[in-house]
A and B are shown apart, each in its own frame.
Chain A
Amino acid sequence: MIMKQKSVALVGDQAVAHAVRQSNVDLIAAYPITPQTIIVETLNEFLSNGELSARYINVESEHSALSAVIGGSLAGGRTFTATASQGLGLMQEVLYVASGLRCPIIMAVTTRAMSAPINIHADHSDVMGSRDAGWMQIFCENVQEAYDLTLMAFRLAERDDVLLPIMVNLDGFLISHTMEDLKILEDSVVSEYLPPRVASLKLDPERPMTFGSFALPDYYTEFKRQQVEGIENALRAAPEEWKRFEALSGRKYTVTRPHFMDGAEIALVSMGTSAGTARYAASKMREDGLKVGALSVRLFRPFPSEEVKKALVNVNVIVVMDRTVSFGAYGGPLFNEITPLLYGTNDSPTIANFIYGLGGRDVTWRMMVDATEIALKKKKTGEKIPKAQFLGVRE
């Protein structure tokens, strides 16, 4: 049954804070960093007003923020923290411990460029630098999605067949500080959807266990192998959980979001807020008679290879938009995920990779049209997989 919902206007950070407030969270570790700060500020306001039952620790660094929620998670609690950019960088070694110890921590990351030069605006260099840390990664396109995907993340992370932490990525300022109207569920409905956590393994004097032991070459590989199983189970688990949420909210979520992809000959593939721009660019190009579609990749870790392949297998020209640089690599991270999937299919399509929007640089639908034109030229010249190039750069 679709539940009654309230329409409110919030910025993305506030929407995330509301989702956390409603989610029966036990422990929040907070450290300020732009553009995430509004999340921990809003949560603290809830706490001071008696609207939040979680314990709240003002830690002295992001390294400690993630360490504290690992402790809380192993004690059996539901935990949340948030960060961006340098904060995520400082957490680097802790990220691997959170996933290795199978802690279902939820962390909102308001994506932001990595220093130097210092910059506070959106790009994906922070989250892409942590893509192999064993965390799930989900990209939001707008404020409503930031709210919904945060709520849903707790259930997905805590499933015994998954049991892994999740980064909910919302583009800095473009979502975190942008006010939009959204629908939020009643507190009681969320509480029923997400009752207090019951951890199957935890620190318990009645049942002593050793967490974080020392595994040498004779066992380390098996630990990693099991992590792979957990994260790959999420490919099945995420759609199940999202369907359950759809039944409550009426909002449908899928691991990828295809737009005009049926019969498309050209595809614009992107993640996060640019996906809306790509859809608009596709519709504009459709007006000019080009068969363009757009594909938004919502779940980046685990990567939904089957769905992406299915969506792109009959497309001739693929434009892959990466909001980060993989220095010294042939292309960006999204390009590197997609290209091998299409090897040897459909007489091999042209796959053109564009680096865009670094440090918050605006990307317009016209730039996406330019990128498509460049890709079509490559197709004509027979260049199947050109090296990644910058979009909208001063040379």
Chain B
Amino acid sequence: MSFTSLKNLPLKESLAPGHRLCDGCGIPHVVRYALKAVDDHSVVIVNATGCLEVCTTPYPYTSWRVPYVHTLFGNTGAVASGIVETIEKLSSEKRSQYFDVIVFAGDGGTFDIGLQALSGALERGHDFLYICYDNEAYMNTGNQRSSATPMYSRTTTSYAGKAIPGKLERKKDIIGIVVAHGIKYAATASISHWRDYMTKVRKGVEVKGPAFIHVLQPCQTGWRYDPALTIKMAKMAVDANVFPLIEVEKGKYKITYRPPKKILVADYLKPQRRFAHLFLPENDHLIRQIQQYVDQNWERLNKLEKFSETG
């Protein structure tokens, strides 16, 4: 299936428009594009605790038109494992209808508390697609630092003050971690690049065994920008090479989108008040440091791609 234009996408909405996510939230894009990409499959959603769960399932309401399970914060990899193994058995015995399993979990539920369960599931090779919507902090509890929070970002637990300029550590390389498990498909995606994302979702569902997609999901309340700019923020992150779009098929790295016009990291940071302190004159060197890390990472990915091509 190819996704030629927005107008031609399936009209079916598996996530109903009635939900409680914030204005300008990027999560519905992550979910809707993914489910439209596999419109012709029967799917079951496994969701970690977080914004998506809280805002779509306030009893007695639900926004889900497909079967949905939420259990805990740090166990989605394990719950998905159990569902996949059971439905494979039950459907082969004609006791149930077969379905694909798609996990949605935030960065806290993936990079931090859910990492062990995810690692176990990837190592064992169950057939499911895991989509991490990364808003770069614990946004459901009000913007606390996670290991996905970018360097020098201000959160409520990595406060930018006179002595410490926000989070001092770099963002964890989750793709590197999942790829190290030897899974057949891993990718990054951005809600601004919907065709790239949907193509990756399609591949992830169709590959036999576990697949992982890491999607950047701008969060206006945590990142503190104008809610009208969500898609723009997602695009700027890609154009600044802060969030490069790549895929790793059977260990081979490929950059799936090269920004035709690269922008500076500072241009991307500027509209976000979580980075406001970096624009004080005394913190200029911090922005330069981020730019340097971003450039190094881009170079690293290009080398990985080249190495993958030449073997």
Binding site for B on A (CB under 8 A): 26-27, 29, 53-55, 57-61, 63-65, 67-77, 79, 93-94, 97, 101, 196, 198, 202-206, 208-216, 219
**Cα A72 to Cα B87 with chains together (Å):** 8
Output the nearest chain B residue to A65 by Cβ-Cβ distance: B78
As a 0/1 sequence over residues 65 to 96 of chain B, the CB contacts with chain A under 8 angstroms (1 = contact) are: 11111111011011111111111111001011
Contact call B116/A64, Cβ cutoff below 8 A: yes
Q: Which residues in A have their C-beta under 8 angstroms from that of B74?
A: 63
Output the nearest chain B residue to A71 by Cβ-Cβ distance: B82
Set A60, A68, A209, A211: member contacting B82, Cβ < 8 A: A68
Q: Which residues in A have their C-beta under 8 angstroms from that of B81?
A: 57, 59, 64, 68, 71
**Cα A206 to Cα B85 with chains together (Å):** 20
**Cα A72 to Cα B82 with chains together (Å):** 5
Contact call B68/A210, Cβ cutoff below 8 A: yes
Contact call A210/B57, Cβ cutoff below 8 A: yes
Set B69, B93, B95: member contacting A71, Cβ < 8 A: B69
**Cα A67 to Cα B113 with chains together (Å):** 14
From known contacts A55-B85, A57-B81, A213-B59, infer whether A196 and B95 are also in contact, taking CB-CB under 8 Å.
Answer: yes
**Cα A50 to Cα B108 with chains together (Å):** 41
For the A-B complex with A71-B71, A101-B71, A208-B66 known, give 20 more contacts whose Cβ atoms are closer than 8 Å.
Answer: A27-B89, A53-B89, A61-B117, A64-B116, A67-B117, A71-B83, A72-B85, A75-B82, A75-B86, A76-B90, A76-B95, A204-B67, A208-B64, A208-B67, A211-B70, A212-B57, A212-B68, A212-B70, A212-B71, A214-B54
Set B42, B43, B59, B83: member contacting A72, Cβ < 8 A: B83
Contact call A64/B80, Cβ cutoff below 8 A: no
Q: Which residues in A have their C-beta under 8 angstroms from that of B80?
A: 71
Contact call B82/A27, Cβ cutoff below 8 A: yes
From known contacts A61-B116, A67-B72, infer whether A213 and B57 are also in contact, taking CB-CB under 8 Å.
Answer: yes
Asked if B97 lies at the interface with its beta carbon under 8 angstroms from chain A, I say yes
Which size class do B's interface residues fall under? 35 or more
Q: Which residues in B have their C-beta under 8 angstroms from that of A198?
A: 95
Q: Which residues in B have their C-beta under 8 angstroms from that of A64?
A: 75, 77-78, 81, 116-117, 120
Output the nearest chain B residue to A75 by Cβ-Cβ distance: B86
Contact call A219/B59, Cβ cutoff below 8 A: yes
Q: Which residues in A have their C-beta under 8 angstroms from that of B87?
A: 75, 203
**Cα A67 to Cα B64 with chains together (Å):** 22
Asked if B239 lies at the interface with its beta carbon under 8 angstroms from chain A, I say no
**Cα A302 to Cα B88 with chains together (Å):** 35
Output the nearest chain A residue to B61 by Cβ-Cβ distance: A213
Q: Which residues in B have their C-beta under 8 angstroms from that of A74?
A: 69, 83
**Cα A196 to Cα B119 with chains together (Å):** 31
**Cα A206 to Cα B70 with chains together (Å):** 19
Contact call B96/A213, Cβ cutoff below 8 A: no
Q: Which residues in B have their C-beta under 8 angstroms from that of A75?
A: 82-83, 86-87, 90, 96
**Nearest 3 CB-CB pairings of A with B:** A71-B82, A60-B120, A68-B82
20 examples of A-B residue contacts, CB within 8 angstroms: A27-B82, A57-B82, A59-B81, A59-B120, A60-B123, A63-B74, A63-B117, A64-B75, A67-B117, A70-B71, A71-B69, A71-B78, A75-B96, A76-B90, A79-B86, A203-B44, A208-B68, A211-B70, A214-B54, A219-B60
Contact call B82/A69, Cβ cutoff below 8 A: yes
Q: Which residues in B have their C-beta under 8 angstroms from that of A216?
A: 58-59
Contact call B79/A68, Cβ cutoff below 8 A: yes
Asked if B225 lies at the interface with its beta carbon under 8 angstroms from chain A, I say no
Interface residues of B in 24-56 (CB under 8 A from A): 42-44, 46, 53-54
